[in-house]
Each structure stands twice: as structure tokens, then as C-alpha cells.
A = this chain, B = another copy of it.
Amino acid sequence: MKRTSIKDIAQAVGVSAATVSIVLTGKAKNGRVSKEMVEKIKVVAKEMNYQPNRLARSLQSGQSQTIGLLIADILNPFFANLAFHIQEEMRKAGYAVIIMNTDEDSQQMEEMIELMQCRQVDGFIIVPAESGEQSIQQLVDHYVPLVLIDRYYPNVQTSNVLIDNFDASYQATQYLIQQGCRNIALFIYDTRLPHMEGRVNGYMEAMKENKLYDDHFIKKISYKNITEDICKELQSVAEKKELIDGIVFGTNTIAVIALKQLFKLKVKVPEDVRVVCFDKSEVFDFLPVPIPYIQQPIQSMARMASRLLLEQLEDTESRNGSTYRLPAELIS
């Protein structure tokens, strides 16, 4: 029942616990311990099926080899994928990942950060929720290794991994314009988070350049009432109350709900209205035409965030606070 400890081995071999520890952690270089002893200890350790207690090691070393990952919405495939890849990257580097879901709630985010700190996580990768500046600023103030991903707070100096939201959205809008659309709406979350603002600005820039901009084209969707808000907006599109011939959907989730609704309302894509989405979705394969979309490089984002965190973890000097903007590509 009880797991064998370093003491048990020490006793069995007839040496001190310290010697066992030195051997088993591979610190027995340059003849610190005789070859025969090293062999013997290793053999006995295997025989007794020794597995080190990482907790004890962590307490001693101050490193838990565990990081916390806070995701805003784990049921969104984009984030689920991100979590999956981060987990893989960190596992390769010897870290375990504790994932929690903040559900876009800064209050929960704060609680979860505290929870994870009690568990002595060595660092964080966080998809921050709106209005959570304070908790993140605290981490920064305490030099906690930290990378924000997908979003960031402009007033908090952190390392960030983002896509170029402005450019992505600009591309998406330009594409619709090139396809002949003139009345192009943007469906976007009603949030102050700057990654969404980047998407708004990219859209606006493209519209303005082409003298097509009008602010009533920007449809703010609330995260809480997402389905209702989208349906309401699309209803008026379907009823031609408002002339819309193109839509940029600002997120994955918005796009899928909207496409579903358009399908129900028998609004034809792209005949009646052209669209561009963020992120690929499985549902695209069930539409008669390919749906153009902005491809976020999920795996690169995960890899980059992991790399940045590992750098901070390994080199306590490297509090760079640099922002990486990965390009997102329009697939059409």
C-alpha cells in the first residue's frame, strides 16, 4: 500500500538517504559515489518499484513543475484545441498542466489564480477575461512567470501571444469588398478587450478606405445573450429591413450560430449574403459552397506561448514583456 520512499531504499541497501538521493537524481558524477554502489542502488530502486514523490521534491526545490492554464471558454473548440496543444508542449518539457475554465468571468479568474498559487504552480498561461487587469497586474508585480494568449491588457506589461487581429479583420473585409459587397456588417462581441477592438479597427479601416463605412454596420453581440442577439440582427437582414450583402463574423462561436440561423431563415450564402468567419468549423463542410475564413495558427500560438513561458521559467531574468503577433491567413 504505502509507496516506497528513499529511506526504504537506503535501509535496504545499507546507506544513507542522501546517497540514494544523489544517485537517483543523477548527481553521482565524478566519482562522488562508487560505481558498484550506484549500480546497487539503482537495482534496488527498480526492484522496490520506487517512484519519487514529486510533492516532496517540489517543497524542497520550490518548483512544482506544474503550470496553470486558464481558459476563457473550454467548450469553444478554438480554446479546447489551444489547451490541448499547450498541454502537449508543456508535457514534453516535463511540466504538468492544471486547466481551469473562467467562463469569461474575471471574478472566477481571480479565484482560480489564487487556487493555483496555493498549489504552487510555477507559472501561468492565461486567456484573460474582461476587466481582470488587477489580478494579472498582481502576478506581474510578483514576477510570476506568465504569458497571456489570444488577448491582452494594453495597460499591463505582460508577454503576449496574439494574432494580428487588425490585419486579419482588414483582410476579411477587403475580401468581401473585392467580391463586390458594399454593405458589409461586422458581428462582434461587445467587449473592451483589445483583441476584439483590433478586429473592429481592421474592419473599419478597410471600410473607410473604400468609403463604405457606416457605424450602424457594426453589430455588437453580448456574450451572455449570444444566440438572441445574433438572431435579432439576422432577422432584420433576412427581412431586408437593412440592406446587407456581406458579413464578417468576429469569432468562431458567432459564426456557427449565425450560419445556423441563416440556414434556418433560408438566407443563401453567398447568393444573398457573403460571409467571412474566424476559424474553421466542421459545419462548413455541410454548406454547398466553401466558406472563407481567417485561419488562426492554433498550434503555433500554443507552441509560442509554451516557449515564452519556459524561457521565463528557466531564466528568472527574462521578464521581457514582449508581444508576439502571429499572422492569420484568409483561406478562401
Contact = CB atoms under 8 A, between A and B. Distances in A.
Interface of A: 1, 51-56, 58-59, 64, 66, 74-75, 77, 80-81, 83-84, 87-88, 91, 96-101, 114-120, 142-143, 256, 259-260, 263-264, 281-283, 285-287
A253 to B, nearest CB: 11
Nearest to A281: B282
Give the top 6 A-B pairs by smallest Cβ distance, nearest first: A286-B286, A260-B285, A54-B118, A55-B120, A54-B119, A80-B80
A55 B59 contact: yes
A83 B79 CA distance: 14
Contact of A77 (B77, B87, B98, B99): B77
Given A56-B59, A75-B81, A77-B80, 8 more contacts: A51-B114, A53-B118, A54-B120, A55-B55, A66-B119, A74-B80, A74-B83, A282-B282
A221 to B, nearest CB: 18
Contacts of A287: 286
18 contacts: A51-B118, A52-B118, A54-B118, A54-B119, A55-B55, A59-B59, A77-B80, A88-B101, A91-B100, A96-B119, A97-B98, A259-B286, A260-B282, A260-B285, A263-B285, A263-B286, A286-B286, A286-B287
Instruction: Decide if the interface of chain A is mainly helix, strand, loop or mixed.
Output: helix
A96 B98 CA distance: 7
A303 to B, nearest CB: 16
B75 A64 contact: no
B75 A80 contact: yes
Nearest to A51: B118
A55 B51 contact: no
